[in-house]
């Protein structure tokens, strides 16, 4: 067995988001978010839960920083809740909201952990949804105002900024398929939403740069590589279709200043657009969207294998037996991370890439000794780390890796039924318990290296949790 070293300065991190961990939705002057509203609708969240308390991080953030310290994190990716900062969407800034993140940033810096905030991880103020949400161009303007207020306050200490997390999820899951807030089923609206998200990203990038000296700004995209089930023309076209719909729709505007023509044609054919010239794209928009970035964040979880269905329409080929899937029903396919990094590097050439999220949902019991032996999660992370390392050796400019997630949390429409954490959270007592993956990750961050072969029996040598 040999050690695969990572370059000096490589950032090992963990990620969370405001709506999923903070709780305290009615405290500190916070306004209502679209996820508060959506969760209150019966049937929208699998276990009928909501994130009113979640991990109670709003009150426990000091202890949570200790958990990060114990892991040896170099950076912590969290998100800022817009409804805490500007509860009314636009206008008056809520000082208590800014104070919360200000203290968090100071606490992280004292612990030697770089704060790596995301401005929008899906918790839009409900008041803005009432005025049309992301389908309205005004929301893009409101986002710039909000971003500038946060950057002005934290920019003396925070240098790396993410504008949006996963625009595809917001547009498609939120506005086309209805699984996420605001729960719409309106494909034409989803395309307007996607455009306004991208536009607001470009505008906010400029606003952050005005407020923060030496800022590095990026956007986080959930990249899902598409493979064709067979070499048939139909299956290959199904993979092309998925790639256009999921990946290129977001990456092409940001890096090439244009929507991908074939994917636009697919949307016209589907009746989601009247014509290829999209009326919601105004003069200057594409230039704003493609403002050069310091980095790109990639969230990678799985791949899609596509085929042409009997009706010729593209569909998921469902090639993987159920028992090899994570609790999300996602295939474990670490090689896809290598392929994704190489593709993004070769086709889009970002200056720097971060894996902004990667991890797996598995539910493991606590044994009699209080141990959570989440072997599959360790194996999942191990294999993804190695594939990241391999892509780096082949030239991908990867600068850091954030595990999703620091702790179990509110997994959107799945409520608390899916556990992604390095730390288990007992949602009754709010106790945090390190899983084997936390012990293992701690060894990785300390060594800045991963063994090339995975040997679950040797993991967790230092089992004492003194965090
Ligand atoms: C990503 C989200 C994150 C979490 C993981 C499992 O799509 O960014 O909030 O839900 O998936």
Local confidence pLDDT in tens for the 467 residues of the chain:
789 999 999 999 999 999 999 999 999 999 999 999 999 999 999 999 999 999 999 999 999 999 999 999 999 999 999 999 999 999 999 999 999 999 999 999 999 999 999 999 999 999 999 999 999 999 999 999 999 999 999 999 999 999 999 999 999 999 999 999 999 999 999 999 999 999 999 999 999 999 999 999 999 999 999 999 999 999 999 999 999 999 999 999 999 999 999 999 999 999 999 999 999 999 999 999 999 999 999 999 999 999 999 999 999 998 888 878 999 999 999 999 999 999 999 999 999 999 999 999 999 999 999 999 999 999 999 999 999 999 999 999 999 999 999 999 999 999 999 999 999 999 999 999 999 999 999 999 999 999 988 655 433 444 455 54
3-state DSSP assignment of residue 297: strand
Q: Give phi and psi for 312, each to the nearest 5.
A: 85, -10
Catalytic residue among 22, 114, 331, 357: 357
CA of 79 to the centre of ligand 1 (A): 12
- Given this model, what pLDDT does residue 256 score? 98
Nearest residue (CA) to ligand 1, atom 5: 404
CA of 301 to the centre of ligand 1 (A): 9
Alpha helices for 111-247 (secondary structure H): 126-130, 137-154, 167-168, 174-175, 187-211, 233-243
Catalytic residue among 166, 189, 211, 411: 166
Is 428 among the residues known to form the active site?
Answer: no
Is 141 among the residues known to form the active site?
Answer: no
Nearest residue (CA) to ligand 1, atom 4: 411
Does residue 119 contact residue 126 with C-beta atoms inside 8 Å?
A: no
- 81, 297, 404: which to mutate for ligand 1, most atoms within 8 A of CB? 404
Atom of ligand 1 nearest to the CA of 166: 8
Does residue 87 contact residue 31 with C-beta atoms inside 8 Å?
A: yes
CA of 300 to the centre of ligand 1 (A): 10
Does residue 102 contact residue 61 with C-beta atoms inside 8 Å?
A: no
E strand map for 265-335? 295-299, 304-308, 314-316
Atom of ligand 1 nearest to the CA of 165: 8
Alpha helices for 180-310 (secondary structure H): 187-211, 233-243, 249-256, 261-269, 285-289
Nearest residue (CA) to ligand 1, atom 9: 17
- 18, 302, 357, 421: which to mutate for ligand 1, most atoms within 8 A of CB? 357
Containing H/E element for 283?
none
Nearest residue (CA) to ligand 1, atom 10: 411
Does residue 61 contact residue 449 with C-beta atoms inside 8 Å?
A: no
How far apart CA 425 and CA 427 sit, in angstroms, is: 6
How many CA atoms are closer than 13 Å to the CA of 113, on its beta-carbon side? Answer: 30
Task: Report the candidate in 244, 255, 389 with the shortest Cα–Cα distance to residue 306.
Answer: 244
Does residue 208 contact residue 164 with C-beta atoms inside 8 Å?
A: no
Tokens read off for 420: 């992604």
Tokens read off for 451: 């063994």
Tokens read off for 460: 């967790």
3-state DSSP assignment of residue 161: strand
CA of 68 to the centre of ligand 1 (A): 19
CA of 88 to the centre of ligand 1 (A): 26
- Given this model, what pLDDT does residue 321 score? 85
Ligand 1 neighbours (beta carbon < 6 A): 17, 20, 165-166, 169, 222, 299, 357, 404, 411-412, 420
CA of 197 to the centre of ligand 1 (A): 17
How far apart CA 402 and CA 384 sit, in angstroms, is: 11
């Amino acid at each position: 067995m040999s050690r695969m070293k990572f370059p000096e300065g490589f950032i090992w991190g963990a990620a969370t988001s405001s709506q999923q961990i903070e709780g305290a939705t009615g405290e500190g002057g916070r306004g209502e978010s679209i996820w508060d509203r959506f969760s209150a609708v019966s049937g929208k969240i699998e276990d009928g839960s909501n994130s009113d308390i979640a991990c109670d991080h709003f009150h426990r953030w000091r202890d949570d920083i200790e958990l990060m310290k114990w892991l040896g994190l170099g950076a912590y990716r969290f998100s800022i809740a817009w409804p805490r900062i500007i509860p009314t969407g636009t206008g008056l800034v809520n000082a208590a909201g800014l104070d919360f993140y200000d203290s968090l940033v100071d606490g992280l810096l004292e612990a030697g952990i770089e704060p790596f905030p995301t401005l929008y991880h899906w918790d839009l103020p409900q008041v803005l949804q009432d005025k049309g949400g992301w389908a309205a161009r005004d929301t893009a303007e409101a986002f710039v105002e909000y971003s500038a207020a946060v950057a002005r306050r934290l920019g003396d200490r925070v240098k790396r900024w993410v504008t949006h997390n996963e625009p595809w999820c917001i547009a498609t899951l939120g506005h086309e398929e209805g699984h996420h807030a605001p729960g719409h089923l309106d494909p034409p609206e989803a395309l307007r939403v996607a455009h306004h998200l991208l536009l607001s990203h470009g505008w906010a990038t400029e606003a952050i740069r005005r407020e923060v000296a030496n800022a590095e700004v990026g956007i986080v995209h959930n990249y899902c590589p598409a493979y064709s089930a067979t070499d048939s023309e139909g299956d290959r076209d199904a993979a092309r279709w998925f790639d256009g719909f999921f990946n290129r729709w977001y990456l092409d505007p940001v890096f090439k200043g244009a929507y991908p023509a074939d994917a636009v044609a697919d949307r016209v054919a589907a009746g989601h657009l009247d014509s290829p010239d999209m009326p919601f794209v105004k003069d200057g928009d594409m230039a704003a969207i493609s403002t050069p970035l310091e980095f790109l964040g990639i969230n990678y979880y799985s791949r899609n294998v596509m085929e042409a269905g009997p009706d010729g329409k593209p569909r998921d080929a469902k090639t993987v037996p159920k028992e090899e899937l994570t609790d999300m029903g996602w295939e474990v396919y670490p090689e896809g991370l290598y392929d994704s990094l190489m593709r993004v590097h070769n086709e889009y050439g970002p200056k720097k890439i971060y894996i902004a999220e990667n991890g797996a949902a598995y539910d493991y019991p606590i044994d009699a000794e209080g141990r959570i032996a989440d072997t599959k999660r360790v194996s999942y992370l191990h294999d993804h780390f190695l594939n990241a390392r391999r892509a780096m050796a082949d030239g991908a400019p990867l600068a850091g890796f954030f595990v999703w997630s620091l702790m179990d949390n509110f997994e959107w429409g799945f409520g608390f039924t899916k556990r992604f954490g390095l730390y288990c959270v007992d949602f009754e007592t709010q106790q945090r318990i390190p899983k084997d993956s936390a012990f293992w990750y701690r060894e990785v961050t300390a060594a800045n290296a991963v063994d090339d072969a995975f040997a679950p029996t040797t993991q967790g040598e230092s089992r004492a949790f003194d965090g």
